[in-house]
Amino acid sequence: MNGRLDGHIVQGHVDGTAKCLSVTEKDGSWEYVFEFDEKFAPLMIEKGSACINGISLTVFDVTTNGFTVAVIPYTYNYTNIRFIKAQSTVNIEFDVIGKYILRSRELNNK
């Protein structure tokens, strides 16, 4: 890499599932709120990323067991996100750098 690192680093592996709590249209875009298993809380950071059903998205309003994503019209129209409704269960993958950091901390605390 000899330039700016842009985008999200995911591998295509499912780490768990999340439940969609709500979908709200906002002036042509959409906000999706998800709930996930609290054991994954250390892997979620404000303005970080999560991969939902293979779609890498920026997260916000992160809590210990939830987060929100904003979806622009292009992403809504050209991915499977448009099929996710409230109460849907989705596959979730967390950022790989966060996984490495968490693993390193676990090994250093032994």
Which structural domain range is residue 35 located in? 16-108
Q: Does 27 fall in a domain? A: yes
Reported as a single tens digit per residue, the pLDDT across 37-89 is 999 998 898 998 999 999 999 999 999 999 999 999 999 999 999 999 999 99
Q: Does 23 fall in a domain? A: yes
Q: Does 89 fall in a domain? A: yes
CB neighbour burial string for 41-76, b if at least 16 within 10 angstroms, e if fewer: eebbeeebbbbbbebebebeebeeebbbbebeeebe
pLDDT of residue 79: 96
Q: Say how many domains are in the chain.
A: 1
Q: Does 99 fall in a domain? A: yes
The confidence band for 4, taking pLDDT boundaries of 50, 70 and 90, is: confident
Average pLDDT over residues 14-29: 96
User: What is the domain-level CATH number for residue 57?
Assistant: 2.40.30.20
Query: In the predicted model, is pLDDT for residue 106 greater than 80?
Result: no
